[in-house]
Amino acid sequence: MRRFSALSLRSRLGLLTAAAVAIAVAAVSVACWFIVRGKLYDEIESALKQNVPTVTVQDLLSTLDQCSSSPSRPDGLQSPQAYYVEIVRADGVPCVAPGSAGTVRTTESDQRIAEKGTGYAFRDGTTTDGTSVRVLTTAVRGHGVTSNVAMLTAYPLSDTRSTLNELALILLLVSGVGVLGAGGAGVWVARTGLRPVNDLTEAAEHIARTDDLTTRIPVEGDDEIARLSLSFNSMTASLASSRELQQQLIADAGHELRTPLTSLRTNVELLVRSEQTGRAIPPEDRRELLESVKAQMTELALLIGDLQELSRPDAGQHGPLEIIGLHEVAETALKRARLRGPHLTIDSALSPWYVRGQRPALERAVVNVLDNAVKFSPEGGTVEVRLEDGTLTVRDHGPGIPAGDLPYVFDRFWRSPSARALPGSGLGLSIVARTVRGMGGTVDLAAAEDGGTVATVQLPGAPAPPPAEPPGGATAAGRAEG
């Protein structure tokens, strides 16, 4: 078994095919041999029944007193040379018919038929000279004899067995040729059928060796192998896309980190040089440097936090799912937005809406949408927030987003040219899109008709929370009855 497992799949399929064909051919050959044997024996038995030698029972019984165990040929009693004819008593003594081809050895079954005086039976037997014969033993009653006897008629099996031996040799040769042909056909079928698998293996080995995810396998047909090839191509395409996104994320993160780090390094070097040279920086300039350092550190912390948020897996990143009141989350986010934009008027109308999700992720998404509106609203402007039937809209009256930039607003690190001077990492809307889509909702940003931007978030849910299940699954009525 271990050696068989060590063979290639192609060799194993060829061997299994040859073995299956060998078993089938052997079964058919054996069945054919036994059917032919049965037919030949039926012909012999029919001849023994219908073509009994011309010696009659009466003729045999009339000479019973002169019965001999050796064949003779008295005048008037003839028997074909191929047949064996004799009478057997219940004591087993044979009486060979005149003209019989020889003497058949009697058996206990012959004696039992003679003793019972009824019935007949076929059997294989031998003569005194070793010839194989087919024997018909028939009981004989009456005819003036004092005891029951049986008559044996037999026919030699030499021709029949010669025919069966020749048939067995022919079947053996045909089976051998069939097994060899089946083995060759099995190898050919395995080679042809497994060619796509071989291509798939070579492609996987090539990718493992060269790390080239652009490798594709040609797809032919629509069978299981074609589906496997399509799945492999889809997998490599997804891996290539994932790697490209990862490299792009690293490049974008490096680019975004470079700006605050450069500014922070410059400010820190000025402070260090002032300490080393003993030349004090004017208090106002020193205060501005420290404020700049603090701002750059805050921007770095925000960027790192956003990167960590995006690096988490989609499932289970903020704990288990729960029923959340979207209106409650929006109200909390509004309190924070009012603190960040005291110069703004925030008009809100929130209808109850409950969704299933993770509260920290949803809170951060709603806060990002409101922070984006506050950031781009002018001094003394108004931000309108509405929640109705699961649709949260946030409308600001800022400069708006150019139509050409709208397709990119949810890309990582994308920032419009007008917003590059403002604080932020460019990841806020990416986090919003990921969170909302992960909850089965949609998010969209569009230009308002009279200026500004409208952010629309739609989440599946209901205006009322589902009824809480009592502990242990028991109903209130059940507890009352208990």
Residue 397 CB neighbours (<10 A): 20
What residue spans of 278-325 are helical by DSSP H?
Answer: 283-311
Residues 141 and 18 in one domain: yes
| 298, 381, 408, 433 from 424: Cα distances, Å | 10, 21, 16, 17
> For residue 366, is it within any domain?
yes
Q: Is 279 exposed, middle or buried (0-12, 13-18, 19+ CB in 10 A)?
A: exposed
Most confident of 121-125, 248-252, 309-313: 121-125
Q: State the pTM of this model.
A: 0.44
pLDDT of 76: 38
Do 158 and 253 lie in a common domain? Answer: no
Q: Based on the domain organization, do 87 and 185 belong to the same domain? A: yes
pLDDT (tens digit, 9 = 90+) per residue, 77-120? 344 457 888 888 777 777 787 767 788 888 888 888 888 878 88
The answer to whether residue 36 scores a pLDDT higher than 90 is yes
Q: Which of 230-234, 331-335, 378-382, 425-429 has the lowest mean pLDDT?
A: 425-429
Residue 142 has pLDDT above 60, yes or no: no
Q: Burial of 177 by CB count in 10 Å (0-12 exposed, 13-18 middle, 19+ buried)?
A: exposed
**In this structure, what token pair is assigned to residue 452?**
């500004």
Q: Give the model's pLDDT for residue 5.
A: 58
Residue 460 pLDDT class (50, 70, 90 cuts) = very high
**Residue 42 belongs to a domain:** yes
**Of 285, 311, 337, at which residue does a domain stop?**
311
Strand partners of residue 346: 383
Average pLDDT on 307-319 reads 56
In a domain, 207, yes or no: no
Residues 301 and 331 in one domain: no
User: 357, 321 in Cβ contact below 8 A?
Assistant: yes
More confident site: 258 or 426:
258
Give the pLDDT band of residue 479 (cuts 50, 70, 90). very low
For residues 39 and 186, the model is more confident at 39
Is 284 in a helix, a strand, or coil? Answer: helix
Q: Are residues 326 and 260 in the same domain?
A: no
Q: What is the pLDDT of residue 302?
A: 64
Q: Which of 283, 311, 339 is the last residue of a domain?
A: 311
Which CATH number characterizes residue 285's domain?
A: 1.10.287.130
Residues 303 and 354 in one domain: no
Q: Report how many domains make up the chain.
A: 3
- In the predicted model, what is the mean pLDDT of residues 15-33? 85
Average of pLDDT values for 349-362?
Answer: 89
pLDDT confidence of residue 480: 36
Question: The tokens of 244 are what?
Answer: 């490209």
Quote the radius of gyration of the chain (alpha carbons, Å): 52
Question: What's the pLDDT band for 63 if we cut at 50, 70, 90?
Answer: low
164 assigned to some structural domain: yes
Q: Same domain for 107 and 175?
A: yes
Is the domain of 341 the same as that of 449?
Answer: yes
Burial bucket for residue 249 (CB in 10 Å: 0-12, 13-18, 19+): middle
Does residue 470 surpass a pLDDT of 60? no
Q: Residue 419: is its pLDDT beyond 90?
A: no
Is 249 within the bounds of a domain? yes
Assess if residue 346 is contained within a domain.
yes
Are 291 and 412 members of one domain? no
Task: Find the domain containing 425 and state its range.
Answer: 322-458
Residues 269 and 368 grouped into a single domain: no
Q: The tokens of 211 are what? A: 């790390």
- Is residue 354 over pLDDT 90? yes
Of 289, 311, 333, the residue that ends a domain is 311
CATH number at residue 343: 3.30.565.10
